Amino acid sequence: MREDGPVNDKGRLVLAGAPIGQADDASPRLREALATADVIAAEDTRRLRRLATDIGVSLGGRVVSYYDANEAARAQELLGALLDGETVLVITDAGMPGVSDPGYRLTRLAVDAGVPVTALPGPSAVTTALAISGLASDRFCFEGFPPRKPGERSRRLAALAGEERTMVFFEAPHRLGATLGAMAEAFGAERPAAVCRELTKTYEEVRRGGLGELAAWAEGDVRGEITLVVAGHEPGSAEPDIEELVDEVARRQEAGTPRKQAIVEVAKSAGIPKRTLYDAVHRA
């Protein structure tokens, strides 16, 4: 077992939480670290310099870009700086490095090399959205961005249908409607959820309701940074009567609908996985 000790001839990696909307949320420790770090690895160097200006800090070290496209190569370079005894600070556009943002690869390299790693806690869209969603927050899981491709997204969500913890997702505004619709199919249209938009910013908005209702709302022009909070499955909660659904499939078949199509349609309307209904029909 390796622990980061107080004495080390190597440098130090600092993961810095950045404000998610309001520059004034920057902590005094973040201000000091930005002014004193030897190297600052920023997801967007322009946004970093704008933040520094807004909070009145002069960046003390050299600034390098560190984003998705160059993360693997840059991590090796930054590890070299750490092994040379320098303090490297990683900061993303908003929130905590490594949480759906660059940071994990360098952290893993630093840990494996015995370099001390620390964090400057800061605002987080995940916990902020969870706190204001009105949904249970005693147990939750973070699922990041759902897959972009419809088939992969449906399979991922179907696997989460029985998840009992509150779930937190990120999503791009132009995909929000499709994702909420897919969630309504996988979890049920009445599953409670909250769409949190532009958290801590001037036009912050929280929409709460069932997934079906929110999917209909999201068909409009939704903009900004989106964090989505979805209630977990409640054991013992009212579930669709599977026998009634099997009977409905049979009625549609008698009316001329092919069995496979009938199963797909009935499962979608009931908000259950197609495979569940297929198995029930097969058994019947």
Task: Say if residue 158's pLDDT is above 60.
Answer: yes
Domain boundaries defined on the chain: 12-123, 126-230, 242-283
Overall average pLDDT of the 247-251 stretch? 89
Q: What is the pLDDT of residue 4?
A: 58
Instruction: Return the number of other C-beta atoms located less than 10 Å from residue 57's C-beta.
Output: 16
Diameter of the chain measured on Cα atoms:
78
Overall average pLDDT of the 13-36 stretch? 95
Sign of CA dihedral 237, 171, 132, 127: positive
Q: Say what angle helices 259-270 and 242-254 make with each other, to 10 degrees.
A: 140
pLDDT: which is higher, 193 or 259: 193
Q: What is the pLDDT of residue 236?
A: 64
Q: What is the pLDDT of residue 283?
A: 81
Q: What is the pLDDT of residue 6?
A: 46
Beta-carbon contacts of 213 under 8 Å, excluding residues fewer than 6 positions away, are 189
Name the token pair of 69: 């496209």
Give 8's pLDDT tier (boundaries 50, 70, 90).
low
Task: Say if residue 28's pLDDT is above 90.
Answer: yes
Q: What is the pTM of this model?
A: 0.78
What percentage of the chain reaches a pLDDT higher than 70? 94
Q: Give the closest residue to 176 by CA, choosing from 205, 141, 202, 137.
A: 205
What percentage of the chain reaches a pLDDT higher than 90? 70
> 14, 42 in Cβ contact below 8 A?
no
Buried b (16+ CB within 10 A) or exposed e, 14-42: bbbbbbbbeeeebbeebeebbeebbbbbb
> Over the chain, what is the mean pLDDT?
90
Q: Could you report the per-residue pLDDT of 34-63, keeping only the tens digit for each? A: 999 999 999 999 999 999 999 999 998 999
Q: Could you report the per-residue pLDDT of 133-142, keeping only the tens digit for each? A: 999 999 999 9
Sign of CA dihedral 166, 167, 171, 176: negative
Q: What is the pLDDT of residue 181?
A: 92
Overall average pLDDT of the 59-74 stretch? 93
C-alpha dist (Å) from residue 202 to 123, 205, 251: 16, 9, 53
According to DSSP, residue 219 is labeled T
Task: Say if residue 271's pLDDT is above 80.
Answer: no
Name the token pair of 18: 């950045």
Which option is the CATH number for 126-230: 1.10.287.1080, 3.30.950.10, 3.40.50.1370, 3.10.20.310? Answer: 3.30.950.10
Give 243's pLDDT tier (boundaries 50, 70, 90).
confident
Give 211's pLDDT tier (boundaries 50, 70, 90).
very high
Angle at 171 between CA 169 and CA 172, to 5 degrees: 170
Overall average pLDDT of the 176-202 stretch? 93
Cα–Cα distance for residue pair 128/196, rounded to 1 Å = 9
Q: What is the pLDDT of residue 185?
A: 85
Looking at domain 12-123, its CATH architecture is 3-Layer(aba) Sandwich (3.40)
